[in-house]
Amino acid sequence: MGHLDRYIAKVVSLSILLVLTAVVGLDVIFTIIDELQNLHADYGSFEAFTYVLLTIPKRCYEFTSLSVLIGCLIGLGSLANNSELTVMRAVGLSLARISWAAIKPALLFVCAALLVGEFVVPHLENYAQSRRALAESGGQALTTSGHWHREGDSYMHFTAVLPGGVLYGVTQYEFENHQLRASRFAKRAIFQGDHWVLQNVEVSEIGESEVKVAEHHTLRWDTELTPKVLNVMVVEPEDLPILGLHTYTNYLKEQGLDAKKYRLAFWKKLLQPLATVVMVLVALSCIFGPLRSVTMGYRVFSGVVLGLLFKYTEDLLGPASIVFGFEPVFSSLLPIGVFAVAAAWLLKRAA
């Protein structure tokens, strides 16, 4: 029976890999076309291709769950069309054994995606976005790109945040009793152990009747923002590692800011392996359940529809948890539980 297990795993693995390559390849092509339409003097074709290249690991990570679902449908569907699954059942291979043989390669892909999402995507995404923002900014104080942050009565904007504690285009606004009292713009800032050093700084102090402007070659900046926190802040929540999400959530709580968006991303990433297993069960239910007598194309279409329904349900419940105030963990667990029960019921009927 070990040979059959390996055969099923091989067919499913190749199908998943083929689907992942095709989906990521198409996404990369469309992204390149989109980027080439937004070129200007400071952001040329080389920068556009570099940006897309750096974001390929992120795209692989994002499309892993969908590729696992479609790959399992195609792999198991081809075995069913060739009557190989029927022969396996006839020689005593149980439905649970076939299911486990299909789940194992899916879990390998998910574990690989988690490792990429934890240790590769955050760094490359940070570098890619910062490099792109720096090229697009042209040294301007405020641009359409970049990142906003509030700390107490200070509001700040960073054009680009590079790994290693280097900032570009730092703009700060100081408020007192809802009145703007001072602003600073520094072309660059470097972290020096426990503080930042602003370079090429222009300071504007706003008085009752006049505005005083001064320029400084360097200026010390004391803040609770560290390179570790900034590297988390500039990346979208869904691209952050689990530990980074936990760190930044605690930082936001200390600042009295809303952290629900990051808690939602934390639970979605933590429960992703379980969600992928449920997707495999959905695929199995399409193969062995009521759809076993229809064509493979129809099975694949039905499985994709169910997978998209799962994703859209999760995407709707996530923002709903932020708006209506219930715990984000429930928005991730509810669709997993509902689809797991439905898939298990269909598989039990087929057993």
pLDDT tens digit string along 191-212?
998 899 999 999 999 988 888 9
Q: What's the pLDDT score for residue 23?
A: 93
Mean pLDDT of the chain: 86
User: Phi and psi of 98, rounded to 5°?
Assistant: -65, -40
Q: What pLDDT is stored for residue 125 in this prediction?
A: 87
Provide the pLDDT confidence category of residue 145 given band limits of 50, 70 and 90. Answer: low
Which pLDDT belongs to residue 227? Answer: 87
Give whole-number Cα distances, 53 to 27, 50, 159, 228, in Å: 12, 5, 21, 24
Contact 172, 155 (CB under 8 A): yes
Q: How confident is the model at residue 50 (pLDDT cuts 50, 70, 90)?
A: very high
Q: What are the residue ranges spanned by the domains of the chain?
A: 2-126+262-350, 147-230
Count of C-beta atoms within a 10 Å radius of residue 215: 9
pLDDT at position 291, please?
A: 52
Mean pLDDT (whole number) for 108-124: 90
Q: pLDDT at residue 294 above 70? A: no
Whether the full predicted model's pTM is greater than 0.95, yes or no, is no
Give the CA distances from residue 305 to residues 35, 46, 70, 207, 282, in Å, rounded to whole numbers and listed in that order: 30, 38, 10, 62, 11
Residues 180 and 296: their CA atoms lie apart, in Å, by 65
Structure tokens at 94: 């149980």
CB under 8 Å to 59, separation ≥6 — which residues?
24, 27, 28
Is the pLDDT assigned to residue 54 strictly greater than 90? Answer: yes
- Weakest mean pLDDT among 132-141, 160-169, 194-203: 132-141
State the virtual CA torsion across 299, 302, 307, 310 in degrees, nearest 10: -140
pLDDT-based confidence at residue 300 (cuts at 50, 70, 90): confident
For 236, the token pair is: 């979208």
Say if residue 232's pLDDT is above 80: no
